[in-house]
Amino acid sequence: MCAVWYLDPSQAVAAYRALVALPAAPRPRYAVKANAHPALLAALAAAGAHFAVVGEAELAALRVLGVPGARIACVTPGPPATLLRACRAAGVGWYAVDSPWEVRKLGALVPGAAALVVLALPPAGRLRYPTVRIGAGLADLDALLAAARAAPVELIGVQLHVGSQCERLAAWRRGVVLAALAWQRLCTAGWRPRVLNLGGGLPVSYRRPVPTPAAIARAIERAVARVFPVPPAELWWEPGRYIAAGAGVLAATVTRCEEGPRVVVQLDVGRYRGLPEAARGIRYAYLADGTGTPRPTVVAGPLGPRYDLLARRAWLPRLRAGERVWLPLAGAYTIVQTAYPATADVPVVLGPLPPLPAAR
Ligand SMILES: Cc1ncc(COP(=O)(O)O)c(C=O)c1O
């Protein structure tokens, strides 16, 4: 029995619709990088969703579905020229810039582009990033604004990202304060900004409760009311994880069990096979049937606990090789994450998600 990934696109549509229905919340755009499976994109496209892309493959997947460019934003501040050309050909609505170089590049390749200024924020999410800074600091804005005056681009607002799986409301409040300062600088430089894009970061409850989108939207609304003399005409956010996670369940198979002072269970999925975020701070829940009393168990991928640790202490019953371990909320940044696709190894089953063992 091999690992299987269950994907139910209707769950992503339900999560998207729940965000759309939230009162006084930013409008959602789906961040395609979280899960670019064609069936999930098709379901969201049919529901009228807007999309945020960071790569050519993501853009192409949307174009095949006939999503109009006006419903697509290119949100990476350092896109390759090939992506910018493809976006221009597709009529993509918005772009992102964070330096004078990027402003000039955008102006040269997409003359007349509408762009958001990406602001740098210290990542406050659970996901650990490499230490490459993305975005402009307030001190960098003068040079960026000077470049924009001389380039055929229109600065229409600011964009930030608090960090993926952000479980702290304070991070969004801090982001809004920084955005207001940058907004003021755009106004002083003669621009008429109208869009505040708060990026992704909406968290899901892998093991512990996390703030709900409604609570985060309220925190944003209050912060905007406090620091923006006139609120932005358009507020957006770009959840990837929140929309896609609940649409997927990963059924892993136990390949080896080690009894002893510490119990180790090895699975046929791991950091390098379907679960890249396990190495970057995401702690999945591991659920299994079984009658034995749950006990603390080290869970590892195919390379073993030393190189492929998934959980130091999951509560699992006694398991045998060949039995199933289930990972809920596995629809985002797992099997089809654009950077680490594992679809050749793990079959995908589309349709309603299977029933899961209870959490212990
Ligand atoms: C600009 C931007 N928007 C959206 C996202 C999606 O984030 P998440 O999946 O945490 O919602 C990211 C993630 O890195 C991002 O950088």
**Atom nearest to 244 CA in ligand 1:** 9
- The CATH number of the domain holding residue 120 is 3.20.20.10
Q: Are residues 43 and 185 in the same domain?
A: yes
Average pLDDT over all residues of the chain: 94
Write out the residue range of the structural domain in which residue 32 sits.
Answer: 10-244
Task: Check whether 338 has a pLDDT greater than 80.
Answer: no
**Atom nearest to 166 CA in ligand 1:** 10
Q: What is the pLDDT of residues 5-38, one digit of tens each?
A: 999 999 999 999 999 999 989 999 999 999 999 9
Query: How remote is the CA of residue 201 from the centroid of ligand 1, in Å?
Result: 6
Query: How remote is the CA of residue 240 from the centroid of ligand 1, in Å?
Result: 6
pLDDT at residue 341 in the model: 64
Q: Are residues 193 and 221 in the same domain?
A: yes
- The CATH number of the domain holding residue 310 is 2.40.37.10
Read off the pTM: 0.95
Q: Are residues 137 and 23 in the same domain?
A: yes
Task: Check whether 130 has a pLDDT greater than 70.
Answer: no
**Atom nearest to 202 CA in ligand 1:** 11
Task: Check whether 358 has a pLDDT greater than 90.
Answer: no
Q: Give residue ranges with CB within 6 A of ligand 1.
A: 31, 34, 52, 75, 161, 164, 199-202, 238-242
Residues 6+ apart with CB under 8 A from 72: 50, 51, 52, 53, 59, 62, 87, 90, 92, 93
Q: Are residues 286 and 202 in the same domain?
A: no
Query: How remote is the CA of residue 130 from the centroid of ligand 1, in Å?
Result: 15
pLDDT at residue 359 in the model: 75
234 occurs within a structural domain: yes
Per cent of the chain over pLDDT 70 is 97
Single out the residue in 244, 267, 289 at which a domain terminates: 244
Single out the residue in 185, 210, 244 at which a domain terminates: 244
Reference 351, options 120, 6, 1; nearest CA is 6
Mutational test site, ligand 1, from 94, 119, 164, 197, max ligand atoms within 8 Å of CB: 164
Q: What is the pLDDT of residues 260-299, one digit of tens each?
A: 889 999 999 999 999 999 988 899 999 998 778 899 999 9
